[in-house]
Structure 1
Amino acid sequence: MSDPTDLYELAPGAESVPEGLPLVAGLTGFADAGSTVSQLTSYLVDTLEGEIVATFDADTLLDYRARRPVITFDQDHIADYQASTLTLRLMRDELGQQFLLLSGFEPDFRWEQFTSSILGLVSRYGVSTTTWVHAIPMPVPHTRPLGVTVSGNRVDLIESLSVWRPTTQAPANALHLVEYQLAATGHPTAGFVLLVPHYLADTEFPDAAVAALSSISAATGLIFPTDRLREEGREFIAKVDEQVQGNHELSRLVQTLEERHDTYMEGNPLPSPLIGLDGQVPSADAIAAELEKFLSTRRDDDAGPGLA
């Protein structure tokens, strides 16, 4: 295997990073329901103080044909080129507490080498805990608090926060491999998978980003400003509720999701929050279709709650 340190370049101030900080990670790529990870990481970088510690080699790790960078064409010339990045940053939360943030694109290539590089950085900086966030679409209602599935070896977090603990096979995220290898060394690790209403999976759902921040806080003790996201979330939910309440069929479908969710959360004998006693997964295709026009309109509304 190639040297893991070949994948990144340390910044001049990398030697002064304190030891024993928590690592928070979120990478965008295969799935990011509700744009949870992209909202979370952008919000942290834009809102908090921080500086880059290490920059990973995009030419080695990224498939440009699958995820093309964005250019700005200004009438007759290329005015801007937005390169995809993957970085490790030293950040400070709202109280000034320091932590490391790994964010950017999920590598398309060299997962084993990438994982070894992360384990090397964890060792180099004596990282205290590693917490990462992911989000998947699920047939759950937007009218209930977002649930999470917690993985890793932080038993306290799994017992207190994980609402759904399936035994299943699923496509992997690069950070699944990082978690797997870190847990094998005994390093305290927790992964939070946000369960996002599937009919909102293609939007920027602010409440999902708030739930992700809350999960990270529970795992690390870090404190984050969330007022802006919470206000955007209230505006977003109000618009969705308006669409649903104006259509009897949609209201009934959401009610079905609510009933199945509540039955599961009350401890009744359902194997999953996603199915009812009849064993059927509820269909909400009509919700997605009915909301499509509304959501596409909101995407074009610069004054809206950040839908994209």
Structure 2
Amino acid sequence: MRDPDGLYDLSTMVDLVPEGLPLVAGLTGFADAGSAVSRVSDFLLERLESSEVAVFDADALLDYRARRPTMYFDQDHLSEYRPATLSLRLMKDDLGQPFLLLTGFEPDFQWERFTAAVLQLVARYRVRSTTWVHAIPMPTPHTRPIGVTVSGNRAELIESMSVWKPQTQVPSNALHLVEYRLQEIGHPIAGFVLLIPHYLADTEYPMAAVAALESITAATGLIFPTESLREENREFLAKVDDQVQSNQELQRLVGTLEERHDTYMEDNPLPSPLADVDGELPSADAIAAELERFLANRPRDEDR
């Protein structure tokens, strides 16, 4: 494993961070269905008290040509530059409980060295447990609660919350490697994969963020203010439901997804909550096409 020294800079408050806190992590850049991770990160940073603990070297970890940072052009000059960041922050939840948050871009390079750096920080602060979230698109209905697949070594969370336990190969992200290395040393680690309706995967689906925060709460006991997200989700789903109800084909396809989901949840011996008895996945392309048209016509927040 590569030497992590020099991959991050510590802030001046580094010695003021309490030991034994939970670490929460979510990195953007890969399969962020429903904008779950990016929305949670923005939500926590906007609403909770926080202080920077460590900042990772973006020049060493980020492929700028693949994920170009934003520059602002004001008539005849560049007025602002917003670089991508990856940092560890000390946060406090809604009850004032402290925790550490690892947030920002997923590294493009030096995964082993990045992982070693995270493990170094975990050891430095004697982190009590690590919890991370990400979200993937799946052919599941928006009319049912968002399911999760739980990985790691916290058996109580896996048994109580994991609705689907596949045996499969998956394209990994950087936090998969962090989880794997933390498992090797026996550190308490839980990874939550949110199963987002695939026809809403390219939207900012508020319930995806709520489900992510609920998963973090289950693993850590931290409390977050989610009422504004829940209200936004009620408005969002009301518009989606209006679109579905106006189209019989969409109703039929959503009904098919609901039936297969409910059959699986009733302990029917299907191999997957997504497949029928013949092992075939439902096609919801018509849902995606219709809802894409609807979502494209939604007013943006700044237009409201």
TM-score by length of 2: 0.98
> Post-superposition shift, 1:303?
5.3
For 1:138-177, list aligned pairs within 5 A.
Answer: 138-177=138-177
Q: Distance in 1 between matches of 2:292 and 2:237?
A: 15
Counterpart code for 2:238: A
CA distance in 1, matches of 2:107, 2:28: 9
Could you tell me which residue of structure 2 aligns to residue 14 of structure 1?
Answer: 14
Q: What is the match of residue 66 of structure 2?
A: 66
Matched letter for residue 225 of structure 1: P
Equivalent in the alignment of 2:247: 247
**Residue 233, structure 1, aligned to residue 248, structure 2:** no
Is residue 271–residue 279 contact of structure 2 (8 Å, CA) maintained in 1? Answer: no
Q: CA deviation at 1:148?
A: 0.1
**1:45 alignment partner in structure 2:** 45
Q: Which residue pairs with 2:131 in the alignment?
A: 131
SS at match of 1:276: coil
Paired AA for residue 298 in structure 1: R
Partner of 2:208: 208
Deviating beyond 3 angstroms after TM superposition, the runs of 4 or more aligned structure 1 residues are none
Please show how residues 187-198 of structure 1 align to structure 2 within 5 Å: 187-198=187-198
Q: Residue type of the partner of 1:238? A: A
Distance across 2 between alignment mates of 1:158 and 1:72: 45
What is the letter of the counterpart of residue 253 of structure 1?
A: L
C-alpha spacing 1:195/1:299, structure 2 compared with 1 (3 Å): farther
Query: RMSD in angstroms over aligned alpha carbons?
Result: 1.0
Q: Provide Cα deviations, 1:248-269, integer angstroms capped at 9, x if missing partner.
A: 0011000000000000000011
1:221 counterpart = 2:213: no
Q: More deviation in 76-85 or 113-122?
A: 76-85
Contact map agreement 2:250 2:286 (CA 8 A) in 1: yes
Three-state SS of the structure 2 residue aligned to 1:6 is coil
Q: Which moved more, 1:278-287 or 1:158-167?
A: 278-287
- Structure 2's unaligned 5+ residue stretches are none
Q: Distance in 1 between matches of 2:238 and 2:25?
A: 31
- Match of residue 84 from structure 2: 84
In structure 2, relative to structure 1, the CA distance for the partners of 1:296 and 1:98 (3 Å cut) is: same
In the alignment, is the contact (CA less than 8 A) between 2:23 and 2:129 conserved in 1? yes
What does residue 284 of structure 2 align with? 284
Q: Which runs of 5+ in 1 are unaligned?
A: none
Q: What is the alpha-carbon distance in structure 1 between the residues aligned to residue 94 and residue 275 of structure 2?
A: 40
**Shift in Å at residue 72 of structure 1?**
1.5
By how many angstroms is 1:57 displaced? 0.5
Deviation at 1:299, TM superposition (A): 5.7
Percent identical: 70
Partner SS, residue 132 of structure 2: strand
Structure 1 residue 2: deviation in Å? Answer: 4.7
1:293 to partner: Cα distance = 1.7
CA distance in 1, matches of 2:90, 2:168: 35
Residue type of the alignment partner of 2:240:
V
1:114 corresponding residue in structure 2 = 114
The structural deviation recorded for 1:41 is 0.8
Range that drifts further, 91-100 or 71-80: 71-80
Partners of 2:296 and 2:44 in 1: how far apart? Answer: 26
CA contact (8 A) 2:2 2:112 kept: no
- Where 1:279 maps in the other structure, the secondary structure is coil
Cα separation, partners in 2 of 1:188 and 1:289, compared to 1, 3 Å: same
Give the paired residue count.
304
